[in-house]
A = this chain, B = another copy of it.
Amino acid sequence: MARKAKSRWMILGLLGDGPRSGYDIKVEVEEAAGHFWKESFGSIYPVLDRLRAEGLVQVREEAAEGRKRRLYALTPRGRAALRRWLAEPVEPDVLRLELLLKLHVGGAAAPDVMIRHVEAYREQQQRYLKGLTAILGDMKKAEGPEPRGTYRRLTVLLGRRVARARIAWAGEALAALRRRAR
């Protein structure tokens, strides 16, 4: 049975905002959606080609003006497919949290090993939170068209809430672990 295939929806979704090249998509995913998504060239180009074969996107060679670029644009069928997917229920994300795995089976290690992992986690989440806050600042300056702006701001706000919860947890966890270590 057809499993996941989420790359195609990210790609189709971005094309919903206007024509883009494979390279554009890569950059845009990193910059605008990097806090909850990732795509590699190794999927982008083949997926783009498949979408074209299925008639969901069209290619246009952007000749001249510098290097050659292949711009992909949604066809009406592509837009319909996107809308259909958007209306489908969200599938629960596959969860595989490596830090929790290490904690779960951490009894086999020395206590300070787990303490260091949680410390690193807290720092990582603090950096992440900072990054999100910076993104939010940029968003305020460059107001985009609605409702897109609202949607994208909401994704960042969720990231921040979750990051703050994780940071708070890490503090609590470190206190508990240090108490035990003594």
Q: Footprint of B on A, CB under 8 Å?
A: 6, 9-10, 12-14, 16-17, 32-33, 35-38, 79, 82-83, 86-87, 89-109, 111, 113-114, 117, 120-121, 124, 145-148, 150-152, 154-155, 157-158, 161-162, 164-166, 168-169, 172-173, 176-177, 180
Contact = CB atoms under 8 A, between A and B. Distances in A.
How many copies of this chain does one complex carry?
Answer: 2
B108 A13 contact: yes
The main secondary structure of chain A at its interface with chain B is: helix
Contacts of A166: 158, 161-162
A160 B17 CA distance: 36
Nearest to A11: B105
Contact of A36 (B37, B95, B157): B95
